[in-house]
Structures are given as structure tokens and as C-alpha cells.
Chain A
Amino acid sequence: MTEQAPILIIVIPLMFSIVTPLIGLWKKDLCYPWVILGITLSVLYSIITLKTVLCTGVIHYYVGGWMPPWGIECVIDYLNAPMMLLISGISLLVAVYSRKSIEQELPGKTPYFYTIFLLQVSGFLGIVITGDLFNLFVFLEIASLAGYALIAVGEDGAPLATFRYVVMGTVGACFYLLGVGYLYLATGSLNIADLAKILPSIYSSKVVLVAFAFFMVGVAIKMALFPLHAWLPDAYTLAPSTSSALIAPLTTKIAVYVMIRILFTVFDPDFSIIMTHTTDIMVWAGILAIFAGAIMALAQTDFKRMLCYIVVAEIGYMVGGVGLANTIAIKGAILHIINDAVMTLGVFTVAGIVCYRMKSHNISDFNALFKKMPFTMTALVVAALSMIGVPPTCGFFSKWYLLQGAVVAGSWTFVIALLVSSLVNVVLFFRIFEIGYVFHESHDGHDSHAHGDGASVIEEAPLSMLIPTMIVAVGIVLIGIYNQPILINIIQLAVPKL
């Protein structure tokens, strides 16, 4: 079975999602273990493929045994093998986490929710694994469509936010498709490796330039790069907590992954960096995104909405990091994809727990929460420190590489943007910590229980939500500590030769 592992990673969630509603008709409670089983298998196969990639190098898998220019090829190299483990791992954590939250927010709809949940996961994995541009479009749309459905079932106003997301997302996907069309027109091939071979001889062609522009704009819409981010905050804020915990860490990061693929695999680094100067624009887009995200985040009174603007700013880090176009900055950007996904998962799961207990995600609801749910808030502190960039956590290291890259590239504005955004994150999160502590209110009424476990443990989140959150918090620290092995063994090899 290990030979088929690459394709099984996506086929298993897909097949499981088809069976889920049938199981739901029979016994609703069985859906949850079924979903966990499916994603666990996916995680296992991701680990196997990652191991194979590390031992034997790039894996080529030909779907149905058809050879590349005609058939669809799955390529797993040093860039997407860790991405796959990241996606399936995060999905597994969110799936474990989802049970109580879904029962509360969407009573009676669990089988359908899990069906779409699995579709979403297989869409994400498909985007990452495929070696074919058109196939990537199809998986992009599978993931987007599942995402629309997951978001639309949220709170009041979610349908309208989703509608806007549908319109924007479709424009993005259509631009991407146009890019595929122009490249096919010029080369007659859809396979990424094939294109990479054919394209260098026709770089001067205007058709190729137009295709490149369409790709960039389409992907920028999908990843919510600053001026095109308008759909993101509403959609992610109003989605059910489980959906936002799954979609917020992954969707935008996968779009960044697609961008890196197009910039450095489909097209030459020479083309992207020297011929078209795209990367210069990307640095400025990144700086704008960081500032805009930070300023908008400061203005929010809603915790989840604040996180959404932080996500917008984080996209700026990655796009700017890739745009700096030197080895160390791109290393930092790729590491930041992984770190940011884990950090965002951490804060959104905490938001979900608070929402589960308090029925709202306003910042004022964090009143005295450190006392009521100490473990959850510890997880929040770890994730927040990582967002700010405090050393033992993973956020520090990727920011450090990005900073070094910015200094090497001499882009001082980007250095300033990184530092300012870190400071803004300090303000944002310490405001919440302060509300969470509220020293003066801790003395009334509960004084007798103040040091006992009774009063504080009762309010703590259910274990099925707490354990994934704690795992994420531990993971943030572990990725931080072991960043060097990750960098040297995996990411170092994924960076294109510049």
C-alpha cells in the first residue's frame, strides 16, 4: 500500500466523505469516529510519504498509470510533503475538536457538516499534491466550494458574507483558469514539469506574460492579499467556530503555496525575479498588507475579527518574504507558512472554546477568563507569544529569518513593517490578557474557592476541545525548538536555486 500512499492521502477523505451522510442516516453518533478514522489514515499516509521523500527524494505518482504529458501526475517534493502533513495534521486536530462545538452550533446537521468537512480536507490535499495546472484548478474549486458551504451555516449575516466570498472567489478561480488557458495556448501542455521545460524558450512572448499576470491576480484574490482581502474578515468571523478553525489556518496558506509553485516551479526564478520584477511588487504588497492588517486589527472589538485582520497581516509576511527573493527570506517564508498555520489554528481554537462557553466572541467576554479556564488561556498565551514572536515559540524563528532576509535584500521598509506589526500584536494580545486577568473583580464572591480547583475547573472547556488546543500549544513550542532540523532536512531543499 505504501506505493499508492500519495494518492490515498486524498482519495481516503474523498471516499469517506461520500459514505458519511449514509452513516448519518443510520446512526448519527458514528459520523464523528468515522471522520476521525478517515483523517487519521490520511495523516498516516502523509507521514509515510514524507518519510519516503526524505529518504529517496521526489516522488512521481502517475494516476491510473498514464504517463505525464497525457495523464495526470502527482508530484511530492520537499515543498509539498511537509505541507501535506501540516494539512492532514491540522484537519485531524480540528476534527477531534469539532464534536461539542458542532453539536451546539449546528444541532442535527452533524453528518452533512462532516461530509463537507472531509471534502474540504481532500480539496486542500489535492491542491498541494497535484502536478497538473488544470487539476489544481479543479481541486482549488473543490476546496473553495466546500469552504463556502462550511462558512454559510454560521451566525447571522454569514450567508451574505459567504455570498461575497463566492463572488470574489469565483473571480479569483476564473482568472487562474484564464492563466491556464493562455499557457496551454502557448505551450500545449498542462503538466507543471513539462511547462517548466517548455516555457523558458518563449518567455518573451506576451501570451506568457499575460498568463503570469492572470495567475498572480487570481491567486492573490484566493489568498486575500491586502487590497483584495475584503471577503476574508466577514466570512471567517461569522463562520461556525469549527469551520473557521479549519479554514482560517489553511486556505490562505495553501494559496501562498500555489503562488510559490507558480513563481518558482512553473516559471523560472529568473523570470519572476529579474525579467518581470514581480517580486519587487510583492514586497510592497506585503508591506501594505502588514500595515493595513495591523491597523485594522487595532480597531476591532470582536476577537475573531481581530484575528482575521492578523491573518491578513500574516499573508503580508509570507508574500513579502517570497518577494525579497533571497534564499534566507524564502526559507523564512516557507517556514512561516507552517508556523502561521499552527499559530492561527491555536488562536482560532481558543476563540472557538470561548465562543462555546460564552456564546459570543467579543473581546469583553474574556473578562476574568484566566481564572475560569486556565488551560485554554495558557494555550492562548502561547499562541499569542508566537504571533508576537517571542523566542522559544515558532513565530520567532520564521520572523527572524524574514528579518535577516530583509536586511540582506536591503529592504528596510519591510524590516520596519515586521517590527511594527510585532509591536501591534503585543498591544492586541496584551489588551486581551489584561481583560482576562481583571484583578479587582477576582475578590468578590468566589473568594472561598479562589485557590481550590472547584470553581476554576468547572468552567473549563470539554476535554475533546481542550486536548487539541493543548496539543497545538505544545506543537508551537516544539516546532520552535526543533526549527533547525526542520529547516535543514526539509525546507532548505525546497528553496529554489536562485
Chain B
Amino acid sequence: MLDFDFIVSKYNYWIYIVLMMIGFYAMIGKRNLIKKIVGMNIFQTAIILFFVSVACKKGATLPILTNGHGPVKHAIDVSHYINPLPHVLMLTAIVVMVATLGVALAIVIMIYRKYNTLEEDEILKAIK
């Protein structure tokens, strides 16, 4: 049977999947190019959410050691610190995604200047 607690406790993963599917639907289903770009952005953001939520811990703090100068005297408990690496990776990924968004918008501007519309059907008609 459905384990309700199990589903609820993993809510961050469910949110990322739902967001991703919303974005995917917008990319496939919508005929307007801007809506497709919005869908693409939601899709990418869902992945950022996934990475960031993976690294998150309740009650943990920044990965900076207090009394870090000199030799550390006490054992370091991993559960007290958040893993910074996924966040750092996402900084790079966000840059990549912003660049993709920029290129996509530039292409949309080219399309709009040429055909004066952003509806895919009308553009296809204008090409043929």
C-alpha cells in the first residue's frame, strides 16, 4: 500500500518532478515560442531545486569550522554542516542556463523581426 509518510518526507523530490513535468509540458504543448522558453526555464530551475535540496540538512550550518585556525581539536560531525559542493555546481549551472536563456531570447527576437509573430503555426506558414 501507499506509504504516506514516505511520500511526504520526500516532498522536495516530488516538487522537483512536478515542476519538471510542468516545464516539459510547456515546451511540448504550447505553440507560443515565449511560453516554450518559459517552460524550458522551469525545467532547468527544477533541476537546480533538485541539486540544492539534495545538499540541504535540517539544523545544519555553513561549512565553516569555528576555531578553524590551527589544528582542529574536536572531531567534525558531518551532520552539522551542509555540503557546499552541489550549491557551487549550481552556480555554474545557473550561468549556463542564463546563457541558454539569452541565446533562446536572441533567436526569438530574430524570428520576431523576420515574421512579425511568435506563434509557431503562423511562422511555419510564413516559411512555406
Residue contact A174 to B47, C-beta cutoff 8 Å:
yes
Residues of B within 8 A of A170 (CB): 40, 43-44, 100
Residues of B within 8 A of A138 (CB): 92, 96
A106-131 near B? 1/0 per residue, CB < 8 Å:
00000000000000000000000000
Q: Given the known A-B contacts A138-B92, A167-B40, are A157 and B127 also in contact in the complex, defined by CB atoms under 8 Å?
A: yes
In whole Å, how far is B51's beta carbon from the nearest beta carbon of chain A?
5
The answer to whether B114 has its CB under 8 Å from any CB of chain A is yes
Give CA–CA (A119, B96) in the complex, Å.
Answer: 14
Residue contact B92 to A134, C-beta cutoff 8 Å:
yes
**25 interchain pairs (CB within 8 A)?**
A134-B92, A137-B93, A141-B96, A145-B100, A148-B103, A152-B107, A160-B111, A160-B124, A163-B36, A163-B107, A166-B40, A166-B100, A166-B104, A167-B40, A170-B43, A170-B44, A174-B43, A174-B44, A174-B47, A177-B47, A181-B50, A181-B51, A181-B54, A184-B54, A184-B86
Residue contact A171 to B99, C-beta cutoff 8 Å:
no
The answer to whether B21 has its CB under 8 Å from any CB of chain A is no
Residue contact A160 to B100, C-beta cutoff 8 Å:
no
Residue contact A163 to B100, C-beta cutoff 8 Å:
no
Q: Which of A152, A173, A174, A185 contacts B110 (CB 8 A)?
A: A152
Among A141, A145, A177, A184, find the residue whose CB has the most chain B CB atoms closer than 10 A.
Answer: A177
Q: Which of A141, A152, A167 contacts B27 (CB 8 A)?
A: A167
- List CB contacts (< 8 Å) of B88-114 with chain A: 89, 92-93, 96, 99-100, 103-104, 106-108, 110-111, 114
Q: Which of B50, B89, B108, B120 contacts A134 (CB 8 A)?
A: B89
Residue contact B110 to A159, C-beta cutoff 8 Å:
yes
In whole Å, how far is B21's beta carbon from the nearest beta carbon of chain A?
12
B interface residue numbers (CB < 8 A to A)? 24, 27, 33, 36, 40, 43-44, 47, 50-51, 54, 85-86, 89, 92-93, 96, 99-100, 103-104, 106-108, 110-111, 114, 120, 123-124, 127
A interface residue numbers (CB < 8 A to B)? 134, 137-138, 141, 145, 148-149, 152, 156-157, 159-160, 162-163, 166-167, 170-171, 173-174, 177-178, 181, 184-185
Residue contact A181 to B40, C-beta cutoff 8 Å:
no
In whole Å, how far is A105's beta carbon from the nearest beta carbon of chain B?
15
Q: Given the known A-B contacts A138-B92, A159-B111, A159-B114, are A181 and B47 also in contact in the complex, defined by CB atoms under 8 Å?
A: yes
In whole Å, how far is A18's beta carbon from the nearest beta carbon of chain B?
15
Q: Which of A137, A148, A174 contacts B107 (CB 8 A)?
A: A148
Residue contact A145 to B127, C-beta cutoff 8 Å:
no
Residue contact B99 to A145, C-beta cutoff 8 Å:
yes
In whole Å, how far is A415's beta carbon from the nearest beta carbon of chain B?
37
Q: Which of B24, B33, B44 contacts A163 (CB 8 A)?
A: B33
Which of chain A's residues has its CB closest to B85's CB? A184
Which of chain A's residues has its CB closest to B108's CB? A163
Residues of B within 8 A of A162 (CB): 107
Among B40, B100, B111, B127, find the residue whose CB has the most chain A CB atoms closer than 10 A.
Answer: B100
Residues of B within 8 A of A185 (CB): 54
Residue contact B96 to A163, C-beta cutoff 8 Å:
no
Which of chain B's residues has its CB closest to A180's CB? B89
In whole Å, how far is B62's beta carbon from the nearest beta carbon of chain A?
19
Give CA–CA (A156, B113) in the complex, Å.
Answer: 12
Give CA–CA (A159, B114) in the complex, Å.
Answer: 9
In whole Å, how far is B59's beta carbon from the nearest beta carbon of chain A?
20
In whole Å, how far is A243's beta carbon from the nearest beta carbon of chain B?
14
Residues of B within 8 A of A156 (CB): 114, 127
Residues of A within 8 A of B33 (CB): 163
In whole Å, how far is A168's beta carbon from the nearest beta carbon of chain B?
9
Residue contact B107 to A178, C-beta cutoff 8 Å:
no
Give CA–CA (A149, B33) in the complex, Å.
Answer: 17
In whole Å, how far is B102's beta carbon from the nearest beta carbon of chain A?
9
Residue contact A167 to B36, C-beta cutoff 8 Å:
yes
In whole Å, how far is B108's beta carbon from the nearest beta carbon of chain A?
7
Among A134, A148, A181, find the residue whose CB has the most chain B CB atoms closer than 10 A.
Answer: A181
Residues of B within 8 A of A181 (CB): 47, 50-51, 54, 86
Residue contact A141 to B99, C-beta cutoff 8 Å:
yes
Among B85, B93, B114, B124, find the residue whose CB has the most chain A CB atoms closer than 10 A.
Answer: B93
Q: Given the known A-B contacts A134-B89, A134-B92, A178-B50, are A166 and B127 also in contact in the complex, defined by CB atoms under 8 Å?
A: no
Give CA–CA (A173, B50) in the complex, Å.
Answer: 15
Residue contact B27 to A166, C-beta cutoff 8 Å:
no
Which of chain B's residues has its CB closest to A189's CB? B85
Residue contact B127 to A163, C-beta cutoff 8 Å:
no
Give CA–CA (A227, B51) in the complex, Å.
Answer: 29
